[in-house]
Structure formats: C-alpha cells, structure tokens
Structure 1
Amino acid sequence: MQYTIRAVRAEDWPLARELRLAALQDPVAAIAFLESHEQAVAQPDEFWQGRTATAAEGRTVRQFIAEDGAGRWLGTVTVLVELAGVQDYFGHVPDVTQTHVVGVFVRPEARGTGLAQALFDAALGWSWALPEPHVERVRLYVHEDNARAQALYEKAGFKRSGVTVDAAVGRELEYAVERG
C-alpha cells in the first residue's frame, strides 16, 4: 500500500471532518475517543475549519494524515503541546514540556501496513524538532481495555509510565517516549 504522510492544510477541513467521523464509528470508538459520533456530527463547519486551521499552523498542535495516491485519507494522528507547569486536560500539571498524541486512527483496510508507525514517526519527529518549546517527552493515553491500541503503541516505542487517569469512559493508561 502506498501513501504519503503530511501535515494538514487549512483547506483540508472537509477531509479532516470525514476522517474524524469515520474514526468515531470504529467498533472501539467508545473507549478510544473522548467524543461521540453524535457530538462530532453536530459541530458546525466553522468548528472543523478552525480546528483544521489551528492544526495546520503547527504552533501548539499539529495533525498528520496518511493519504493514498487518489487523495483518500487513510489515517491520522494529532499532537498537542503541553507546557511544563500548565494544567493539562486531566487536571495534572506536568513537570516537563511534552507533547500529547491524540486522535489516532487508521482505516481498517490500512491496518497492518506500517502506516500507523509512519504516522507516529511524523508525530515524534515534529515533537523533537520543535525549537521552542523544547519537548522532553511524548505521551498518550489508552483505555485499559483497548489491547489492540496498547500493542500498537508499544510497537511504536511507547512504554507504560505507571500513570493512570479516570476518564468518562473508564481508566486510561499513560504511555510515553522520553527524549533520547
């Protein structure tokens, strides 16, 4: 399977919306994402335009996508910058500046092709290359019952940190990669 990994562009918002809605219909979406399909469908175009434009700027968030030769999006990953000393989504205050990988999704027909690893490589590469702020670690959370995702993250080099959080969907386990 051939694909290209690239950052989103502001004008990609309809494709970003379509892929997110597809992700939210995945059989494990209820434990993989902190948003429902119904919530996402209800968002106006302006929401998707703003979200995609911010990710395209690449200052505090960057979304990467995998695209086939026909322009169909096969997968995505988004990376959020979290500053040391600033409270995160779960109410924790990190000691170091880090990035947080969210929104990981690969269409079923592209799974097992190396595409997910290529998306993670892009996310980690962007994180380590940021001149400011200097990122010390990259982390993500995964539901304790999502064994498929846990195996994927471990294969991509993430290790369980021992941190857990209680989210609306249940207990989430933190995985991280430290700057080498």
Structure 2
Amino acid sequence: MDYSIRAVRSDEWEKVRELRLSALRDPIAHLAFLDTYEDAAARPDSFWQERTEGASEDGPGTVRQFVAEAPDGRWLGTASVLVERAATETFFGDVPEIEQTHVVGVFVRDEARGSGVIDALFAAAAEWSWSSVEPRFERVRLYVHAENTRAQAVYKRLGFVETGVRVALHGSEDAQEMEYELRRPA
C-alpha cells in the first residue's frame, strides 16, 4: 500500500473531522477513545477548525497530528502527539517529573491495517518528539485500555513497554487504562 506521512494543515479541518468520526465508528472505539460518535458529530465546525489549527504543521507546537495519506488524497490513519511539560498537570491529572510527549487519537482504517501505516505514524510521532531541542523530551507515553489487547500488541511490537501505572478510565469506576512508554534512545 502506497502512502505518505505528514502533519495536518490548518485548513484540513473537514478531513480531520471525517477521520475522527470514522474512528469513533470502529467496533472497539469504546475501548480506544474518550469520546463518542454522537458527541463528536454534534460539535460545531468552529471546534474542528480550532482543533485542526492547533495540531497543524504551523500550529503552536504543543500538539501535532500526523496522518497517513494515500496517493489519491484519502487519509488512511492518524496519531496525535501532545506535549506534556515537567511539573505541569496533564489531562490525566498526573504531574510528570520529566519532559515528555503523549500519543493519543491513534486510528488506522480497516483497509490499511497490516500495511505498515501504524508503524509509520508512530515513527513520525517519535521523530517529532526526539527532534525537539527545547524542551528535550525524554519519553513518549500513551495509555491503552486494559481490554484493548489489539492495541497493546501493536504498541509492544513498536517498542513500548508497560510502566505499571494504571489510571481509572474517565467516567468509569471499573475500567482501567495502562500506561506504556518509549524512552529516548541513548
């Protein structure tokens, strides 16, 4: 399968919305995303425009969304990277001791699974993280639902290791998310 990996552009909000809505229709979306199709579909265009601009190649640099693009322009998958600064509370309520990034919103369309798209998206996320000089990120982390064994297998294959940290899934007393990390190469 032929594709290229790149950061989204600020004017591509409609494609960002379409891919996100497709991701939220996936049969295991309830294990992979902290969002629902219904909520996302109801958001106004301005939400998607701001989200895309903030994660674009010319955005402020605190978020970067990468996409796998087929030669015909169709987006096959995505992964976003959030900057998490040391001594600053994150979305999950923790306060990292080191500078790090956090991969979120990972999705690959059915027809592109097994083609290397996920590997290329994660390579772009890691490369973006390691290329930062100030701050210098020491690790890339992600959270994965304890029942999402498909994603766990992929992350382990890509070199991520479980840290032992678990957090309660937002809105659930029983569901747990497991933290995985990839440390900066020596």
Secondary structure of residue in 1 paired with 2:167: strand
Matches within 5 A, 1:6-155: 6-56=6-56, 57=59, 59-155=61-157
**CA offset at residue 132 of structure 1?**
1.6
Confirm whether residue 177 of structure 1 aligns to residue 182 of structure 2: yes
Between the aligned residues of both structures, percent identity stands at: 57
Greater mean alpha carbon deviation, residues 30-39 or residues 53-62: 53-62
For residues 57-81 of structure 1, what are the alpha-carbon distances to aligned partners after superposition, in whole Å with 9 as ceiling and x for unaligned?
Answer: 1510000000101000000000000
CA distance in 2, matches of 1:176, 1:144: 15
Secondary structure of residue in 2 paired with 1:10: coil
State the TM-score, normalizing by the size of structure 1. Answer: 0.98
For residues 75-125 of structure 1, what are the alpha-carbon distances to aligned partners after superposition, in whole Å with 9 as ceiling and x for unaligned?
Answer: 000000000000111111101010000000000110001110000000000
**CA offset at residue 51 of structure 1?**
0.4
CA distance in 1, matches of 2:28, 2:139: 27
CA distance in 2, matches of 1:85, 1:148: 32
CA distance in 2, matches of 1:58, 1:89: 18
Query: What is aligned with 2:167?
Result: 165
* 2:70 aligned partner, one-letter code: D
CA distance in 2, matches of 1:87, 1:58: 19
Segments ≥4 residues shifted beyond 2 Å:
none
CA distance in 2, matches of 1:176, 1:93: 16
Structure 1 residues without counterparts, runs of 5 or longer: none
Count of residues paired in the alignment = 180
* 1:16 aligned partner, one-letter code: V
Q: 1:51 to 1:83 in 2, by over 3 A?
A: same
Greater mean alpha carbon deviation, residues 142-151 or residues 130-139: 130-139
**CA offset at residue 167 of structure 1?**
1.1
Quote the RMSD (CA, aligned, Å). 0.8
Secondary structure of residue in 1 paired with 2:11: helix
CA distance in 2, matches of 1:47, 1:73: 20
Query: What is aligned with 2:158?
Result: 156
